[in-house]
């Protein structure tokens, strides 16, 4: 049996160049007519052929694909359950009630920063950006539409807030994963992240505030009379009641109690179904149909029908296909050793603290785009760079902070990553449409790299606090 050889650097780069060419031609030449999952399946061909040329059998390549796709199974299950939750809430009047009551307290001028703050608080409490986006995020998208806010800007504000809490909450899985990989302590890790995450969040709030005052909201569409008419139309289409706010409150409570996402969302779906029967008078057959196909509103009011026609498992299938195809490509890349070669080549060129942290951020970002999975963007660079940080005199929490700065928040910026695909599918806004307005997600890695080269807030192993300067260990230049 032939023993596979390790790929060279150029061989490892070739699949990336091929992927960039296929996706660029598909998106630009055909103007988005070719579904992205098909483009990603085509992208898998070149690394598969090259892996066989390196000595791998088809069975080994296929196993790599299946292993990669297996990483997406949990995300796919959550997506399916989120589809049922949104459908049940739209049918029961939960979304309508959240929007109706939200319109009483939110105003166009401060809607975007308020949306970011609301999602930040919820996500801090429950530790999940996905659950936050799928619950209060969906309602805020509806409120934003009623107030005349751009859907892309609203989605950006929701995602910035959701990932702030996900990144800083001790209940978050990524917040626990990063220090586990780096060898730091949880609360030391959280304190270290304050230096990069809090400034990014505050800057994002300022930007949302400026946008809201200047151009983010079409105030010509907003008037107290218009909002009153929309609330009346919602009340005509469905029964509105404070009791219908129980499902999102239930999700938050279950998340605080550390119940996993799937059973918590299933409980919220069940609660939505029961409330649909009690308040809207729909039968079991219609409830079950909506869980799969989504809710279809036919009130005659365009704004209300657009708000309430959503959800269902079927609406998430395209997103799942996207994630599966992307993780299949990533599985081949990892199985054939292309990713390990690229990361090692990057690490060999590091000669300073600035270069080390920048390389870690770029590696996390690259893994997010190549392997399409947020957890791998923390685990793989974490393993690769773990021994380097002590050699440069850095504390372990510097690595764990950088893994989150480069890995956690950037997952939502890639259309085929599980994070980006989830946000796009749940909020109904294309990834590249909301990316320019996901300010916190964009700013965190930039601030991390700025600190790395300026020497600000660099925590060294031989110092109890924050050190300044940016030098490599002796003999490393």
- Cβ burial 117-130 (10 Å sphere, 16+ → b, else e): bbbbbbbbbbbbbb
Q: Is the dihedral of CA 74, 80, 81, 86 positive or negative?
A: positive
Q: How many domains does the chain have?
A: 2
Q: One digit per residue, pLDDT tens: the chain, 477 residues?
A: 568 899 999 999 999 888 888 888 887 777 667 888 898 899 899 999 999 999 999 999 999 999 888 877 887 888 899 899 999 999 999 988 988 888 777 777 788 999 999 999 888 878 889 888 988 898 899 888 888 888 999 999 999 999 998 899 887 888 888 998 898 888 899 999 999 999 999 999 999 999 877 764 555 455 566 677 778 888 888 999 999 999 988 988 887 887 888 898 899 999 999 999 999 999 999 999 999 999 998 888 887 888 888 889 998 898 888 888 888 988 898 899 998 898 888 888 888 999 999 999 999 998 888 887 888 889 888 888 888 899 899 999 999 999 999 999 999 999 988 899 999 999 999 999 999 999 999 999 999 999 999 999 999 986 444 433 444 443 333
Q: Are residues 330 and 274 in the same domain?
A: no
Q: Are residues 37 and 89 in the same domain?
A: no
How many other C-beta atoms lie within 10 A of the C-beta of residue 281?
9
How many other C-beta atoms lie within 10 A of the C-beta of residue 470?
18
Q: Are residues 351 and 211 in the same domain?
A: no
Place of tokens 């069940």: 270
Indicate whether 350 belongs to any domain: yes
pTM as predicted: 0.82
What's the rounded Cα separation, in Å, for the pair 438 and 3? 46
Pair of tokens at residue 15: 């699949």
Q: Are residues 125 and 226 in the same domain?
A: yes
Indicate whether 22 belongs to any domain: yes
- Cβ contact 186:177 at 8 Å: no
Q: Are residues 114 and 228 in the same domain?
A: yes
What's the rounded Cα separation, in Å, for the pair 154 and 132? 14
What's the rounded Cα separation, in Å, for the pair 155 and 427? 7
The C-alpha R_g of the chain, in whole angstroms, comes to: 23
Indicate whether 463 belongs to any domain: no
Q: Are residues 206 and 83 in the same domain?
A: yes
The set of residues, in sequence order, having a beta carbon less than 8 Å from that of 294 and lying 6+ positions away, is: 83, 86, 87, 90, 309, 310, 311, 312, 314, 315
Report the pLDDT value the prediction gives residue 223, as an integer from 0 to 100. 59
Indicate whether 425 belongs to any domain: yes
Indicate whether 337 belongs to any domain: yes
Among the candidates 259, 284, 312, a domain finishes at 312
What range does the domain containing 203 cover?
A: 73-312
Q: Are residues 327 and 290 in the same domain?
A: no
Indicate whether 214 belongs to any domain: yes
Q: Are residues 113 and 19 in the same domain?
A: no
Pair of tokens at residue 386: 């773990």
Among the candidates 312, 329, 355, a domain finishes at 312
Q: Are residues 268 and 136 in the same domain?
A: yes
The set of residues, in sequence order, having a beta carbon less than 8 Å from that of 267 and lying 6+ positions away, is: 250, 251, 254, 259
Look up residue 467 and give its DSSP letter: B
Among the candidates 312, 342, 357, a domain finishes at 312
Report the pLDDT value the prediction gives residue 1, as an integer from 0 to 100. 56
- Cβ contact 308:301 at 8 Å: no
Indicate whether 471 belongs to any domain: no
Place of tokens 């080994």: 60
Report the pLDDT value the prediction gives residue 468, as an integer from 0 to 100. 39
Report the pLDDT value the prediction gives residue 217, as an integer from 0 to 100. 52
Indicate whether 46 belongs to any domain: yes
Q: Are residues 96 and 53 in the same domain?
A: no
Q: Are residues 153 and 286 in the same domain?
A: yes
Q: Are residues 128 and 272 in the same domain?
A: yes
Nearest alpha-carbon partner for 204 in 145, 156, 165, 168:
156
């Amino acid at each position: 049996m032939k023993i596979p050889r390790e790929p060279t650097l150029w061989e490892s780069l070739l699949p990336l160049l091929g992927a960039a060419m296929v996706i660029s031609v598909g998106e630009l030449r055909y103007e988005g007519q070719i579904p992205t999952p098909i483009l990603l399946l085509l992208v898998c061909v070149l690394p598969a052929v090259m892996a066989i040329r390196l000595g791998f059998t088809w069975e080994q390549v296929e196993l790599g694909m299946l292993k990669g796709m297996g990483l997406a199974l949990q995300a796919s299950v959550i997506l399916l359950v989120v589809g049922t939750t949104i459908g049940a809430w739209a049918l029961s009047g939960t979304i309508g009630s959240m929007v109706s009551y939200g319109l009483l307290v939110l105003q166009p001028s401060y809607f975007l920063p308020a949306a970011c703050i609301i999602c930040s608080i919820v996500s801090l409490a429950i530790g999940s950006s996905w659950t936050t986006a799928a619950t209060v995020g969906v309602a805020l998208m509806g409120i934003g539409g009623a107030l005349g806010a751009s859907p892309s800007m609203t989605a950006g504000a929701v995602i910035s807030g959701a990932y702030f809490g996900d990144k800083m909450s001790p209940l978050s899985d990524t917040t626990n994963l990063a220090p586990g990989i780096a060898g730091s302590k949880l609360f030391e890790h959280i304190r270290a992240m304050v230096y990069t995450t809090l400034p990014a969040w505050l800057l994002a709030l300022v930007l949302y505030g400026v946008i809201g005052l200047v151009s983010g909201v079409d105030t010509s569409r907003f008037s107290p009379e218009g909002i009153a008419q929309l609330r009346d139309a919602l009340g005509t289409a469905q029964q509105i009641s404070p009791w219908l706010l129980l499902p999102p409150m239930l999700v938050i409570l279950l998340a605080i109690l550390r119940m996993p996402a799937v059973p918590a969302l299933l409980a919220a779906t069940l609660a939505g179904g029961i409330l649909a029967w009690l308040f809207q008078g729909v039968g079991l057959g219609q409830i079950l149909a909506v869980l799969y196909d989504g809710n279809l509103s036919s009130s005659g009011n365009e704004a209300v029908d657009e708000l309430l026609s959503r959800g269902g498992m079927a609406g998430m299938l395209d997103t799942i296909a996207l994630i599966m195809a992307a993780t299949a490509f990533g599985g081949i890349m990892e199985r054939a050793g292309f990713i390990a070669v690229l990361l090692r080549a990057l690490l060999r060129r590091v000669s300073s603290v600035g270069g080390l942290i920048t390389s870690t951020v770029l590696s996390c970002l690259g893994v997010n785009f190549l392997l399409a999975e947020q957890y791998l963007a923390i685990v793989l660079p974490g393993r690769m760079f773990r021994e380097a940080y002590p050699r440069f005199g850095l504390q372990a929490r510097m690595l764990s902070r950088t893994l989150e700065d480069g890995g956690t928040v950037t997952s939502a910026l890639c259309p085929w990553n599980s994070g980006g695909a989830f946000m796009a599918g749940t909020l109904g806004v294309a990834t590249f449409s909301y990316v320019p307005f996901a300010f916190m997600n964009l700013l965190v890695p930039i601030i991390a790299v700025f600190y790395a080269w300026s020497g600000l807030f660099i925590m060294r192993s031989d110092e109890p606090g924050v050190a300044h300067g940016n030098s490599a260990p002796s003999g490393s230049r």
